[in-house]
Amino acid sequence: MSTLTLRKVAIDTYRENVAYLHRDCKLYRSEGFQALNKIEIHSLDGAVSIIAVLNVVDDDCITKPDELGLCEQAFRQMGGEAGVAVNIAHARLPASLKAVHRKISGDNLGLEDYQGIARDIASNRYSKIEMAAFLVACSQTGLERDEVLYLTKAMIETGKRLNWGEPLVVDKHCIGGIPGNRTTMLIVPIVAAHGMLIPKTSSRAITSPAGTADTMEVLARVELSPHELHEIVRAQRACLAWGGTAELAPVDDILIAVERPLSMDSPGQMVASILSKKLAAGATHLIIDIPIGATAKISNRSRALALRRLFEYVGDHLGLSIEVVLTDGRQPVGRGIGPALESRDVMQVLNNDPAAPLDLREKSLQLAGRIIEFDPDVRGGQGYVIARDILESGRALAKMQAIVDAQGRNPNPPQIGHFCHDVTATDSGQVTSIDNLQLAHIARLAGAPMDKGAGVDLHKKLGDPVEVGETLFSIYAEFPADFEFARESAEQNSGFTTGNAVVDESP
User: What is d(CA 302, CA 305) in angstroms, rounded to the nearest whole number?
Assistant: 5
Smallest distance from a second copy to CB 427, Å: 29
Smallest distance from a second copy to CB 268, Å: 13
Smallest distance from a second copy to CB 368, Å: 35
Quote the longest CA-to-CA distance of the chain. Answer: 76
Tell me the torsion sign for CA atoms 379, 381, 385, 387.
positive
Which residue, 218 or 462, is less far from a second copy as judged by CB? 218
Q: What are phi and psi of 324, to 5 degrees?
A: -100, 125
Q: What are phi and psi of 503, to 5 degrees?
A: -80, 120
Count CB neighbours of 36 within 10 A: 10
Which residue, 12 or 45, is less far from a second copy as judged by CB? 12
Which residue, 26 or 160, is less far from a second copy as judged by CB? 26
User: What is d(CA 121, CA 280) in angstroms, rounded to the nearest whole number?
Assistant: 17
Which residue, 160 or 418, is less far from a second copy as judged by CB? 418
Smallest distance from a second copy to CB 331, Å: 24
User: What is d(CA 175, CA 20) in angstroms, rounded to the nearest whole number?
Assistant: 40
Distances (CA, A) of 342 to 18, 163, 410, 443: 37, 32, 16, 12
Cβ atoms of 175 and 290 closer than 8 Å: yes
- Residues 329, 330, 333, 338: what is their CA dihedral angle, to the nearest 10 degrees? 100
What are the start-end ranges of the H helices in 393-435? Answer: 395-407
Smallest distance from a second copy to CB 184, Å: 25
Which residue, 54 or 458, is less far from a second copy as judged by CB? 54
Smallest distance from a second copy to CB 389, Å: 43
Residue 388: burial class (beta carbons within 10 Å; 0-12, 13-18, 19+): middle
User: What is d(CA 208, CA 482) in angstroms, rounded to the nearest whole number?
Assistant: 16
Q: What are phi and psi of 298, to 5 degrees?
A: -110, 120
Which residue, 71 or 175, is less far from a second copy as judged by CB? 71
Q: Residue numbers of the site for a second copy (CB under 8 A)?
A: 1, 9-15, 20, 23, 30-32, 34-36, 55-59, 61-62, 71-72, 89-90, 101, 104-106, 127-133, 135-137, 139-141, 257-258, 261-264, 447, 450-451, 478-482, 485
Active site residue 265: yes
The active-site residue, picked from 120, 252, 265, 345, is 265
Residues with a known catalytic role: 265
